[in-house]
Structure formats: structure tokens, C-alpha cells
Amino acid sequence: MTKIKNYINGDFHNPIQDNWLDNYNPSNGDVYGQIPNSSKDDVENAYNAAKAAFTSWSKTPLDERSRILIKISDLLEANLQRFAEAESKDNGKPISLAKAVDIPRAASNFRFFGNAITQFASESHESIEPNAINYTLRQPIGVVGCISPWNLPLYLFTWKIAPALVAGNCVIAKPSEVTPMTAFLLGEICNEAGLPKGVLNIVHGLGGSTGQAIIEHPDIKAISFTGGTSTGAHIAKIAAPMFKKLSLELGGKNPNIIFADCDYDDMLDTTVRSSFANQGQICLCGSRIFIEQSIYEQFKVDFVKKVKALKVGHPSKSDTNIGALVSKPHLEKVKDYIKIAKDENGTVLCGGHVVNVKGYENGYYLEPTVIEVPNNNCRVNQEEVFGPVVTIMPFASEDHVLEMANDVKYGLSATIWTNNLKRTMRMSSQLLAGIVWVNTWMLRDLRTPFGGVKASGVGREGGFEALRFFTEAKNVCIKY
Ligand code: NAD
């Protein structure tokens, strides 16, 4: 049994009230560890450590902060195998994915922001009145809270922590209670890299108690949150009367729009990936696939054939394409949506069943599922399923598909497949989404702004956007 502890003031602590939660291994349904269900008092201890560390950390020379972050990145890379194994066991994702994507991207977050801060210059200009100059100070906020979900555990956890720290803030961070393991391991790495005590504090526990204590804390001045839309709305309500700065990265129901003039083979392979990578549990997955009428029947045959060839299996096996879903309740939720889709006249073209993986019969495995839907108004096209389930339907024209793509409460990302430049420009400017990919998917550059519109969030992360969020701009005006 692995017993995870809170990382407060550079040390590892049991929860004050000795209250623990079970940690499940999704690949076999076993309880393999325990995590603290931290109370308000644990969060208060973390806050006190962070507050005490702030004076010194906020004044630590920028290149020293940058050096420590880059050291954390180096150590993560040196521990790639250990972190990838832990991530895969905790989350159910194929270890190959954790090793090739999740952990390297977590390391990149520290390296990128370690470097970015050294390029983050602020504006200065002569005033409109003569003999006066304005300049802008970008100052750390103080103690900030970072709360992350279970789907890309270390990657999204560090995506917040790295810019927060390098900008001179002290952090109280809470990973998802469903996938706490790699955040726990990160504490050791931070100590080894020389991050001063109290600068980063990691508390574990349920959202409704530990998370709630973070968002309710009057002196935690900013919250960076990634997770579900309803949780985001709840956090906004709590934070508003205290005037906390908020960044909310929420759910998605992303359209994948395929025109007949695209590079077909490339589109097909990428669409399999954008549908089912990480068991479809990525906020950016293209879960609503719209195909131009003239190639619809051909696409249906070719896509279903490729999806049927995906191997569902134990996450540790090198030939596994689809691992386990993250938890039993989540598996049940995804199964419910397949039933709802059928009830609303959807046709399951492949998948739809739980998979018994030999030797791991209690794991949370589900076949990759393709559903042909009669319209865009059905629940499975309007609500976030967040699993290995995609819908397909044909469209008649550019206007028709644009209307359906935008007719949803979310607006995170969209993908367009076409070789028509004018159409690309028209569509990408009219799609209501924070990110539009053309002839690719999830090609990420950490300098670009990342975030959603509508119910997919408020604010932007990534590059200087993240550094702006984690600093306060102060205008200084000098008359001479
Ligand atoms: P969730 O909202 O249930 O939980 C996210 C985090 O918030 C967890 O750490 C949880 O413990 C915490 N939390 C829950 N209630 C809280 C409260 N009252 N106060 C403070 N913290 C609280 O989401 P989830 O199920 O972990 O993640 C899946 C969701 O995340 C999906 O909707 C997905 O689209 C979204 N997501 C969005 C992005 C993005 O960048 N937009 C990225 C990944 C995942």
C-alpha cells in the first residue's frame, strides 16, 4: 500500500485529522494506496508555509527562480520511467502515452516557463503630458491556488504550477483525488532541485472539502482551475465576493469538421487519435465528427474499420491503444451516455461494450465507440461524455456545419480538415472556440494562448498569458 502524504513546507505530512481516502488502480479495480483527505487545518498549514516563504521567494533573483525550474525539468526527465509508471497505474492510461507525452510535457512546462520568464519584459512609454514617463511593474500576486483534474494529471498540474512559481508566487496546489500519485512524487523532485521550503505546497483530498478550503481561503488571492464546467461555476461564485483573480479551463464538446477536399489518409489517422487518445478523456478530443455528405459513407466504413482495430488492453502492455477509464463511476457515466444515445435514435456502429481484459477482469475497460446520430440536438452531441465515445453525422454545406459546430454550450477547440484556404479562413474566424486546428490536432506550442469561450472557460493560459495571469500589473508614472 502506497501512503501518499501532503507536501507542506518542504516536508511530507499525514493529514492532521488522520482522515484517508482509498486510491484505486483502474486497470484492475484494486485499492493500491491511500491519500490524505485533508481538512481546512491542513490547508491553513500550507497557507502559513506559503506566506512565510513568499517574502524571500518573491525577491529571489529571476535567473535563480528560472534555474530551479529548469533543474526540476531535468530531474523529471531523468525520472521519466518512474513517473510514467506511476501515472499509468494511477490513471489507467497506456504507459506508452505517459512516457511519450504526459511526463515529457510536464518536464517541458518547467523548462518552458523557466526560460519564458527571462523574456517577459514589460512596457514603458513617454506620457501624453510632457516630461513624464510610465512604466509597468509585473509583480507576483502572493499565495495562489492551483487545482487540477485527473485526465492529464502531472501535465495539467505543472502547467499551472510552473508559471505561478517562476513569476514569484508561492503555491498551494491540489491534484485530483483520483490521480494524486505523480503530484506526490513531484515534491521529492522539488526538494532535490533546491526549491526553497514552503514555496510549493501540495495538499491532497476531495474537491468538496480540501478544494473548497482552498477556494474559500480569504488570503489566497488567485485560483487557477482546470476541471468540469459545473465546478468552475461553483468556484466563480465563491471567489467573486473576495475579488480573487480566476482562470477557469473547463469542459469541451469539440467539433471535428471534415471536408471532402482534405488529405484523406492523414485525416483518418488523426481523427482516430483525436477521438480516442487517452480513452477519449482529453478536453480537446473531437467528440462530434461532422463529415461532408459526399464522403460520408466512405468515411463511415473506413473510420469504423480503423476503430475496430484498436486494441483495448492493460496499460502496461506495449501494444495497448486504449487503456482503462479512470474510475468505476466514470465508466458508469460513459456507459449511461451510450444508452442515452441509443434511446435518442443513435446507431452504435462499433463498440459500446465493457471489455473483460484477461487477468484484469475488474478493470474499467470500454470498447472505443462510434455512434451515428440523427441530429446535433441529441444529448450525446450536446453534453460532455469525456470517454471513448464519438458521434458522426453528415453535413450539407459550410453554413450548415458552422451552425451545428457552434450550436453547443461549450467552446474549447475545433478541428477543420480541408485544403481550401479561403474556407479555412472563413471557418476559423467564425467558429466559437478558443483553439482551432486546421489539418492537425493537438499540435501544441507552449507560447500560444490556451483556453475556451462560453462554458469552456474564462481566461487564457500558456506563454505570456500565464505569466500575466500570475502577476499584477502596476503602472508607475514619474514626472521629471
Ligand atoms: P472536476 O471539476 O470534478 O474536478 C477538478 C478538480 O477540482 C479536482 O481536483 C477536484 O477535486 C476539484 N474540485 C471539485 N470540487 C471542488 C470544489 N468545490 N472546490 C474546489 N475544488 C474542487 O473535474 P474532473 O472530473 O477532475 O475533470 C474532468 C473535467 O475537466 C472535464 O470536464 C474536462 O473537460 C475538464 N478539463 C478541461 C481542460 C481544459 O484545459 N479546458 C483540461 C482537462 C480537463
Q: pLDDT (tens digit, 9 = 90+) per residue, 222-267?
A: 999 999 999 999 999 999 999 999 999 999 999 999 999 999 999 9
What residues contact residue 12 under an 8 Å CB cut-off, 6+ apart? 5, 6, 187
CA of residue 368 to ligand 1 center, whole Å:
23
User: pTM for this structure?
Assistant: 0.98
What does the pLDDT average to over 320-326?
A: 98
Q: What is the enclosing helix (H) or strand (E) of 157?
A: helix 153-166
What is the mean pLDDT of the segment spanning 48-54?
98
> 169-189 burial, b for 16+ CB within 10 Å, e for fewer?
bbbbbbbbbbbbbbbbbbbeb
**What pLDDT digit, counting tens, does each position of 189-209 carry?**
999 999 999 999 999 999 999
Neighbours of 297 (CB within 10 A): 11
Share of the chain above pLDDT 70, in %: 100
Question: What pLDDT is recorded for position 282?
Answer: 98
- Report the pLDDT averaged over residues 87-116: 98
Concerning whether 472 is annotated as a catalytic residue, the answer is: no
Which pLDDT score, from 0 to 100, does residue 1 have?
Answer: 85
Q: Whose CA is closest to atom 10 on ligand 1?
A: 207
Chain-centre distance for alpha carbon 12: 26
DSSP, collapsed to helix, strand or coil, labels residue 362 as coil
Does the CB atom of residue 174 touch ligand 1 within 6 A?
A: yes
Residue 75, pLDDT score: 98
Which residue from 39, 109, 160, 231 has its CB within 8 A of the most atoms of ligand 1, so it is best to mutate?
Answer: 231
pLDDT of residue 123: 87
Rounded to 5 degrees, what are φ and ψ at 415?
-125, 140
> Residue 342: pLDDT above 90?
yes
Strands (E) in 333-429, as ranges, are 347-350, 369-372, 389-395, 410-411, 413-417
CB contact at 8 A, 272 and 299: no
Ramachandran class of 381: left when φ > 0, alpha when ψ lies in -120 to 50, beta otherwise: alpha
- 283 a catalytic residue: yes
* pLDDT, tens only, 414-459: 999 999 999 999 999 999 999 999 999 999 999 999 999 999 999 9
**Pocket residue to mutate for ligand 1, from 105, 206, 283, most atoms within 8 A of Cβ:** 283
Q: What is the pLDDT of residues 9-26, one digit of tens each?
A: 999 999 999 999 999 999
Secondary structure (3-state) at 456 = coil
Mean pLDDT, the chain, as a whole number? Answer: 98
Which residue puts its alpha carbon closest to atom 11 of ligand 1? 207
Q: Could you give the CA distance from residue 85 to residue 90 in angstroms, rounded to a whole number?
A: 9
pLDDT bucket at 380, cuts 50 / 70 / 90:
very high
Structural domains of the chain, with CATH: 2-250+456-479 (3.40.605.10), 255-445 (3.40.309.10)
> What letter represents residue 62's amino acid?
L
* Radius of gyration, CA atoms only, the chain: 23
| pLDDT of 166 | 98
81 membership: H or E segment, kind and range: helix 80-91
> Residue 354 corresponds to which amino acid?
V
Span 331-341, pLDDT tens digits:
999 999 999 99
Whether 452 lines ligand 1, by a CB cut-off of 6 Å, is: yes
> Is any ligand 1 atom within 6 A of the Cβ of residue 410?
no
d(Cα 247, Cα 33) in Å, to the nearest integer?
32
**Ligand 1 neighbour 449 (Cβ under 6 A):** no
Does 462 sit in the ligand 1 pocket, CB within 6 Å?
no
Q: What is the mean pLDDT of residues 147-151?
A: 98
Decide if pLDDT at 274 tops 90.
yes
